[in-house]
Amino acid sequence: KILVTGALGQIGSELVMKLRQEYGDASVVATDVRKQDCEVVHSGPFEILDVQNAGHFASLAKEYNVDTVIHLAALLSAKAEANPQLAWNINMGGLVNALEVAREMNTQFFTPSSIGAFGPGTPKDQTPQDTIQRPNTMYGVNKVSGELLCDYYYEKFGVDTRGLRFPGLISYVTKPGGGTTDYAVEMYYEAKEKRAYTSYIGAGTYMDMMYMPDAIQAIIQLMEADSSRLVHRNAFNVSAISAAPEDFAEAIRHHIPDFQLTYDVDPARQAIAESWPDSIDCRAAKDEWGFKPNYDLQTMTKDMLEKISLKATNEA
């Protein structure tokens, strides 16, 4: 049985459905701090869980006799920067509780890291898998601490912990909440609705991005990889695209020729974006477990715009 925290979030809402498809509906216990009327709640076991509640976390894991914990519950970068103490409590308190469940029940363990785990002093182009990590955001501190803690639980207690440093993830199922890279998702939606978007991230600001299907595939591929091949564990650089707002706009114009991009830079999120890499080196993930994304900016844009149209029609 697989227990997923943050199951109603941007990654969780798609990962749960994919895991249920692969392993059976009853094999994935979806949890989140609130309940919603959606297919994750209706298609298999769902429990309300605040990951800061260690006792409840442990009792749920025992009740379902889980053998894998996928811990996604967290505050993303912009929200964390606005509420740093809350972010520490949720992001680190939740992670420690999740790792303790994994240790006590000897489960396999996954939690995402992020390009946010790198800071201003990190080489920006083709950021290496192993390099300096001194992020200057609370989210980044949480992600670096999380990577170190997950490696510690592997070295010290033998917990099979694995992680991915995700870039900005683009998806149409569930909108991200409180991230810095969310502008790219918003741009696709507003391109469809208004044929225009005002970006809070400035022109020329490059960040790594990836389409959600590639992210979901990477999680499953990593978790199924032969552990004897893994030189790294927490966490692998993975990315598919390095792009700035104008690159997304150009790709969108292939489908919506009169799309207009303007800028109204938000200093807080611009500062976070500028502290992150422009592009990361994913060779370790390719060499150790065969990471290979399928979508580039053009194919992602085509699929995103088609799926957003479909969604609008279905919801109409």
Interacting residues with ligand VAH (CB under 6 A): 76-77, 114-116, 139, 166-169, 176, 179-181
| Nearer Cβ to ligand VAH (28/117) | 117
C-alpha gyration radius of the chain: 19
Closest approach, Cβ 179 to ligand VAH, in A, equals 3
| Nearer Cβ to ligand VAH (31/91) | 91
Cα separation, 10 vs 33, whole angstroms? 14
**CA distances to 66, 99, 234 from 153, in Å:** 18, 7, 11
Closest approach, Cβ 194 to ligand VAH, in A, equals 23
CB atoms within 10 A of CB 292: 12
Cα separation, 132 vs 81, whole angstroms? 21
CB atoms within 10 A of CB 245: 23
CB 214 within 8 A of CB 168: no
| Nearer Cβ to ligand VAH (13/114) | 114
Query: Which DSSP symbol is given to 180?
Result: S
| Nearer Cβ to ligand VAH (87/261) | 87
CB 269 within 8 A of CB 200: yes
User: Which residue's Cβ has the minimum distance to ligand VAH?
Assistant: 179
Closest approach, Cβ 10 to ligand VAH, in A, equals 7
Closest approach, Cβ 201 to ligand VAH, in A, equals 10
Closest approach, Cβ 19 to ligand VAH, in A, equals 21
Query: Which DSSP symbol is given to 280?
Result: B
CB 254 within 8 A of CB 190: no
Place of tokens 């114009």: 253
Closest approach, Cβ 113 to ligand VAH, in A, equals 8
| Nearer Cβ to ligand VAH (159/273) | 273
Catalytic-role residue among 139, 183, 197, 200: 139
Buried b (16+ CB within 10 A) or exposed e, 13-44: bbbbbbbbeeeeeebbbbbbbeeeebebbeeb
| Nearer Cβ to ligand VAH (107/205) | 205
Place of tokens 């091949």: 229
DSSP state string for 121-160: TS--TTB-SS------SHHHHHHHHHHHHHHHHHHHH--E
CB 294 within 8 A of CB 221: no
| Nearest residue to 244 via CA among 278, 217, 288 | 278
Q: Tell me, yes or no, if 139 is annotated catalytic.
A: yes
Catalytic residues: 139
